[in-house]
Structure 1
């Protein structure tokens, strides 16, 4: 019932981005703050008669490739247990491009079912990058292919492709980006120094302040993970005279140590464990 309710609500509001994670058996949605989460809970209860409980919201980061990486494994190579040859080059894509996939091999070099298996596996594998976050703005090129008829199957390519792709991505490296809010502040001139100091402590950034009489306008960005604290503290920082508005402001590279996301899928970065789990030994 919950799945049906969330599916219908997503049709009405695609920004919810509802997904059912079959690996973790979890229902996840995208919300813009706790207020929308509360409204959503009320809507589900009123329209569908379901009492829902949400876990604490989690800020979702993304990864982008930092450079160029190449990797290939040939059929018959030591360590390649599959009847398949696969090679990839990965490199940064243009901003907002998502995942672009292209071929440096002839389309007819593999049966279409194998080509389809590789492409689908690329998209699935890139849902968890080097730090466990979805990888985006990446260009993936298939550089090597090979198979042995009639023993090769699509499963060989689905199992080998993650190992090769993640090896290429490891060589390229990735940077982690977190969502930020664009902020607009109007504060008394006397409180400007305290507000700027606190904004910097919360890892925010700001443009040159604009003086308007005894008030100051301040525009900038702040990570979503610290934005609630600025909202909570603004009144005390400005003696109740500050105004704040925020809206989604895209992504910015994480300044501190990159956060890691819990992995839900087989981890091709750990070859030994990956192969053991494929064979259901672990």
Structure 2
């Protein structure tokens, strides 16, 4: 069942998203060669809790950390660890905040040091596909319009779209209906309506779209071990407009690529 939000509830999600955006900004300052991914997780949890929030991911289904940190061929749901970032890595950082009864959710993929031109293009094109998808997430369109737009854009660039993992509704629960695939047919799927809050999150691979799950039960990586990129925003749909509730502003003030 889809839970439609009142304007007051959307405002609460937006306040949660501000904490999240600023937490991402603090993380962005430290994404560099030589940093342990567990250190980034520590920064995020301390910032979120210091600002009255709770990390949405920590303890969710047994997940052990505040951040999903996915390096190189890991698509999503990677664990923070003692892994030290190296020149040429890419790192996806996915985070959620629970505040005043509501969740927010966003992700960003960073290049570390000097990455290859084709991998840098993967990041830029995946980020662009997020905003193209958001443009289609308007009242009266359907979920398939969003996924079709993302899929068409990235496949024209020679990439593939992960199908096993999708975006989702966001609210009192971290994952709500409807699912928001990053592929699909125009005019198909649930109708987008006033009061819907959804997370759109393209997961795009340089090689095959096939993925495998590691033995830890969480980590998803590409089957061919080629790099994968991931960007995400939580958005609200109104009758007359669509608003991006999360923000990458604080990331981009501290990290340029």
Same fold (TM over 0.5): no
- Structure of higher RCO (CA pairs closer than 8 Å, 6+ residues apart): 2
Q: Which has the higher helix share?
A: 1
TM range (shorter): under 0.3
Q: What TM-score comes out, normalization by structure 1 length? A: 0.22
TM-score normalised over the length of structure 2: 0.23
Which of the two has higher C-alpha Rg?
A: 1
